[in-house]
Structure 1
Amino acid sequence: MGSVTGTTTPGGAMAESGVLELRVLGPFEAAVHGQAVELGGPRLRGVLARLVVARGRAVGVETLVAELWRGRPPADAQRTVRTYVSRLRAALRRAGGPCAEDALVTRPPGYLLRADLTALDALRFEGLAASGRQALDAGLPQVAVQRLTAALDVWRGDAFAEFDGHPGIAAEAARLERERLSAIEARLDATLVLGLDARAAAELEGLVHAHPTRERLWGQLMTALYRSGRQAEALAAFRAARAVLVEDHGVEPSPRLAEIHRQVLRNDPALDTVPASAASFAGRGG
């Protein structure tokens, strides 16, 4: 979406003049000129959130009806959706004038949010995370840590948390959570490249318990522990990872995680320089 400039909103993001700022990485919020938009009740908020998920594509009225009422709509559901949209436009107009109202457009078969009049925190996160990965690939780990940390700082809580189970939003919330974990793993790769092994190990010990099937996190933890002179703990981490994978999911550790285990056993000097990259764990939960 490009850089975001302008006044700082209560959520900490930057909003362009006249642009509708939407925040989904935590409590669902909207603001214009730094002023919060009163979005109303759950179904009004659900309509706007569903349009956010579409990212500039039209969402049909029938789709909104089916998702808002989970397949059991009232007879006047389509008219009710149109009323919701009118109320959302009125709320945008009160907060930011006609320009803000213009962000919500009627477009057959339903409605869309104009990309040029909206700023989304998820896009800001994705842009910063991509920039951080590029810096890491370019051999700039300090820059990578800074950019990936900035990306993760955009998050204020779980994505779309209040819409848990919403059929049109749940998949996007899950995708964003995977992207968040991937950004954490990339930042930890950069941290390991910088040789900050003890710091990485301290963070990873909590992360593997929160996300026990992320093999990349286990590989990073084993590497960080080994480099910190904690070989026995690195081997214990592999046993813990294998127990989770075998007992709970019926699969053996991936070839890459097993290789890190062998490297720890034989004190392989390669562990002193090579982080557990994402490609090594493709298709294995991280």
Structure 2
Amino acid sequence: MNANTLLRVSLLGPIEASVGGQPMPVGGLGRRALLAALAFNLDTVVGVNRLIEVIWDDHPPMTATTKLQGHISALRQSLVRLGGPDAVHILQTRPPGYVLSARLASTDLARFDELMRRGAAARLPEGADGRVAALSAALRLWRGDACVDARSPGVAVLAASLDERRWRAMEDLAEAQLVLGDHNSVIDAMEPLVRQWPYRERAWEHLIEAHMRRGDVAAALAAHDQLCGILAGDLGVTPGRRIGRLVSIIRAGNPQ
């Protein structure tokens, strides 16, 4: 993000946009999908055919190209109305499609990625405080599921990859919180995560370890039994080695 940024697009939740600090109405589903596709790819040309696919999937209308041009024109009008003459350069035509200028536009996704890199660079255990600070800030950017109000099939694929990165960030944060002894925060974050995504073994591992480290062996073993039941019943598999080793430590009465 830089001082020249005029357009700010929020993708980590319902799609929102502002120009020069003023909220910009985005419009209906098609225009939201268009803005999301362009904002996902700042400074990269997104072709007309790809944009049509993102908006209409496999069933574009005969007038899809004309309708797309109409969406582009409407976005440009909103940008210039709120941002003045300089805003005309935000959304540019470049064959074979269109591009949002990274010099004039920014996204919460870019900020999230920057904080994720900062968190990953903080090595454990000595960097636990730094990782917690960076990842906590990254997760505060989220306002709900990514692009939740523009889930065309094309946008849904892009948004699902972002949601996965969010869950990974939560797991990375929990790992650092365990190092710092913040077991309650880990339990509070991992319990709803495994309810929503019951096959995420890393989240289960952090949950079991947090219970163990705060001395609640019964809760740790109960979580393990629940995981075993889910994996056996749904997938016909057992938990991986890391959880197996952790439970062996618990049953041996030797938590470290």
TM range (shorter): over 0.9
- Contact 2:232–2:238 (CA under 8 A) maintained in structure 1: yes
1:1-286 equivalences under 5 Å are: 4=1, 16-137=3-124, 139-164=126-151, 166-269=152-255, 272=256
| Cα displacement (A) at 1:18 | 4.4
Secondary structure of the structure 1 residue equivalent to 2:144: coil
Query: Do 2:184 and 2:210's aligned partners in 1 also have CA atoms closer than 8 Å?
Result: yes
Q: May I ask how many residue pairs the two structures share in their alignment?
A: 256
Over the residues paired in the alignment, what is the CA RMSD in angstroms? Answer: 1.8
Conservation of the 8 A alpha-carbon contact between 1:129 and 1:183? yes
- Tell me which moved more, 65-74 or 91-100: 65-74
SS at match of 2:8: strand
* Runs of 5+ consecutive residues of structure 1 not aligned to the other structure: 6-15, 273-286
Aligned to 1:279: none
Conserved in 1, the CA contact under 8 Å of 2:183 and 2:211?
yes
Aligned-partner Cα distance in 1 for 2:192–2:217: 18
- Give the SS at the match of 2:92: strand
- Relative contact order, CA 8 A, sep 6+: which one is greater? 2
Query: What TM-score comes out, normalization by structure 2 length?
Result: 0.93
Amino acid across the alignment from 2:14: P
Deviations 1:124-169 (A, max 9, x none): 01111221222244712122211111110111111011122x2322
Is the 8 Å Cα contact of residues 18 and 100 (structure 1) preserved in structure 2? Answer: no
What is the distance in 1 between the residues matched to 2:153 and 2:42? Answer: 16
- Deviation, structure 1 residue 187: 1.1
TM-score normalized with structure 1 length: 0.84
Identity of paired residues, percent? 38
Q: Distance in 2 between matches of 1:53 and 1:99?
A: 22
- Partners of 2:197 and 2:123 lie apart in 1 by 24
Greater shift after overlay, 50-59 or 256-265? 50-59
